[in-house]
Amino acid sequence: MSGIAVVGIVEKDNLILIGKKIKKDHYLSESWHILGGKVEENEDYEEALKREIKEEAGIDIKVKEKLDEMFDLNSNLKVIWYLCNFLDGDLVAGDDIQEVKFVSKDKIKELCSEEAVKLWPEKVVEYLER
């Protein structure tokens, strides 16, 4: 295992934050997905998630609870999923994300890339289908 990544299901007014990755050598290149990223050395998981969401979407979040975890063979990372609330800020794409938006739960599966959806752990799928 080469590391740990964190992903945040960020909610605001019953909508979920997603982002579209820029064109790059990555299995999610130019695809919509739920935002997150790698945990840096000596970084707390929740702090890493707050940093990643701030870098990629320009907003501040509150991490509520851990939802699930899984191993991503594409990136060779353990991925920990969290439920989060929007706190403050203006939605602005940054880092390796070209566009960000909040969408309803029932639209997420059709908007996010099939590659991303295949990697959602069971509890994430159940949560998004509620």
Tokens of 47: 């702090």
Cβ–Cβ < 8 Å for 9, 16: yes
pLDDT over 70 percentage in the chain:
97
Please give the single-letter amino acid code of residue 66: K
pLDDT at 39 over 80: yes
- Kindly list the structural domains of the chain, giving each domain's residue range(s) and its CATH number in brackets, ordered by start: 4-129 (3.90.79.10)
Quick: pLDDT tens for 7-17.
999 999 999 99
Q: Where are the beta strands (DSSP E) in the chain?
A: 4-12, 15-21, 32-33, 36-38, 59-72, 77-89, 97-104
Query: Could you give the dihedral angle defined by the CA atoms of residues 50, 53, 55 and 59, in that order, rounded to the nearest 10 degrees?
Result: -90
Could you tell me the pLDDT band of residue 47, with boundaries at 50, 70 and 90?
A: very high
Average pLDDT over residues 110-128: 91
Q: Which positions are catalytic?
A: 99
